[in-house]
Amino acid sequence: MLWTDKYRPQELSEVVGNKKEIKIITDWVSEWKKGNPQTPLLLVGPPGIGKTTLALIIAKEFSESIEMNASDKRSQDIIKRTIGESSTSRSLFGDEYKLIIIDEVDGIHGTNDRGGVAEIGRIIKTSHHPMILMANDFYSKRLQSIKPKCQVIKMKKSRWNSISALLRKIAQAEGVEVEPAALKEIAVKSQGDVRSAINTLQALADKDHTLEVKDVEGMVTKDTRSDIFNAITSVLKSKTPAHVKEAMWIEEDPTLVMEYIAENIPREYKKKDEIKKAYEYIAKADLFFGRTQRSRNYGYWKYASDFMGIGVSNSKHETYKKFTKIQTPTIFGLMGRNRAKRNLRDDIADKMFDKMHVSRRVAVSMFPYLEIMFQNDELAWEISEFLDLDEKEIKRFRKKKIPKKVITKMEKRKAQMHVEERDRRAEELKNQMMNVIPEVEEVSGDDDLPFEIPGIDDAPAEEVVEEPEIVEEAPKEEKAEEKKEKKADKQTTLFSF
């Protein structure tokens, strides 16, 4: 049995460190038990400092508890099914409260997040029960909309002397002889991570041998990690490969680290050849991240990490002795401003995927052609009806709304048709749309759309007006006849057969 589980605190008073924070939590629990609803708690702090332990202790104070890891259940529907309904329903034990625990709230990221953060915000607003949310990164962008709705408690790393005292108690309980200096060494190297310190002690403990300082002096605790800012600083400031490699061992999305490094290279490096060489290594790292995504072989990550870490570090001739403030990648700002636009694009692509059975990449590649097709009012209505597009999605392809008289006319025509005929016409429209599919190279994992697709994510282009041909004036009788023929030859629509 793991000692972290065996010696997990059972009372708030047994938790190591964070005494002021624990007092706030204790008062929060007391108010709920008195029937005074409180704002949800958001516990933020690095892994291993006891956030989950605190939540499990608090859970004992209520009739029942529901726990969910938000990074595993990211989509809006899954979160809603898992915990959304429970947040507003009564407890199984009558009128008593149940504790709702949501872990790793900042772990929701990437294309898999389909409204997950928004759904958590809705649960916070509508919940009738106490809630505890947990996150590792206080500055995560995923917490920006959640923090104002919660009482934020920043958990601090435990001091080495408190961890050392806890390790001494565990060693005595297990009958293990340990030198005090060895306990101190383990506690210091844990860098405030209580769980890591206990795991290290259990791994090194031997009842037949006294644990000495020499046994732990060369040890690097497995869970000892840098943070993203220290990692970037090490890459840009250091020229020691071993130092850079160790600093790159962090709990962050590696592509995020790459974006940070790429953003700050020209802020630190000043010589053109240094900047050129550094970006060549960034390009190689990006290449291996792409291979990882396509093949799902995460062994490529180590090569990408070395390219963007050691490679960029060794691109400079010498270390610059100056202070450089680490800047957030500008791409995040651009993505934030275009988020609504990308979401609209993805929603339309999803509908085309469901109705036409084409990949999302192919669906997006059809957008310029749909803009042309949508210039015809009746055809625009047919396509939007077939794909079940709403007004905002229709506006993506045409600036003007479909006239009401056209909508009324087409709805009336559709109502007069038999079901079989509707299906046949729908199939014909589908084929008509499929005929405009451009040649798009299909690749593995192509459902992950890029941030922006040039020429597709731009606003609909203005209609090009061709120069009119100069023709001889026809007699009025011929012009009237020609007008009738044009009206008859007007583009055929779904319900005009």
Q: Domain boundaries in the chain?
A: 18-154, 228-334, 338-497
Count H helices, E strands: the chain?
A: 23, 5
Read off the amino acid at residue 362. V
Copy the structure tokens of residue 289.
């991240």
Structure confidence at residue 308 (pLDDT): 92
Q: Running DSSP on this structure, what letter comes out for residue 218?
A: T
C-alpha to C-alpha distance for 334 and 341, rounded to whole angstroms: 11
Please give the span between the terminal C-alpha atoms of the chain, in angstroms, as a whole number.
Answer: 75
Q: What strands, in cross-sheet order, belong to the sheet with 151-154?
A: 64-69, 98-103, 131-135, 41-44, 151-154
Helix (H) or strand (E) segment spanning residue 42: strand 41-44
Residue 260: Cβ-neighbour burial (10 angstroms; 0-12, 13-18, 19+) = buried
Say what the pLDDT of residue 206 is.
Answer: 73
CA distances from 214 to 188, 261, 327 (A): 15, 38, 42
Helix 404-415 / helix 377-387 crossing angle, nearest 10 deg? 60
Q: Given this model, what pLDDT does residue 292 score?
A: 84
Across the strands, what pairs with 103? Answer: 69
The predicted structure's pLDDT at residue 205: 78
**3 state SS of 232:** helix
Cα three-residue angle 470-476-479, rounded to 5 degrees: 60
CA distance 329 to 258: 10
**Chain position carrying tokens 């079901």:** 419
From residue 343, how far is each of 119, 392, 443 by CA, in Å? 16, 12, 22
User: What sections of 75-205 are H helices per DSSP?
Assistant: 76-79, 116-126, 160-174, 180-189, 194-204
Q: Along the 497 residues of the chain, how does pLDDT read in single tens digits?
A: 688 888 888 888 778 778 888 889 889 988 988 888 888 899 988 777 788 888 888 888 887 778 777 555 445 556 665 565 555 555 555 457 788 888 878 765 444 455 567 778 888 888 778 889 888 877 777 787 888 888 998 888 778 888 888 888 888 888 888 888 888 888 888 877 888 888 888 888 776 778 888 777 666 544 444 567 778 888 988 888 888 888 888 767 788 889 889 998 998 898 999 999 999 999 999 999 888 888 878 778 888 889 999 999 999 988 887 777 777 777 766 666 677 788 888 889 888 888 888 888 888 888 888 888 889 888 888 888 888 888 888 888 988 888 989 888 888 888 888 877 878 888 888 887 887 666 444 433 334 444 333 333 333 333 333 333 333 444 445 455 555 544 444 444 434 43
- Residue 431's nearest CA partner among 479, 389, 492, 364 is 492
Which CATH architecture describes the domain 18-154? 3-Layer(aba) Sandwich (3.40)
Question: Given the structure tokens 């202070």, which residue do they identify?
Answer: 323
For the whole model, what pTM was predicted? 0.45
| Residues forming beta bridges with residue 65, ordered by sequence position | 99
Residue that has been written with the tokens 């809006």 in this structure: 76
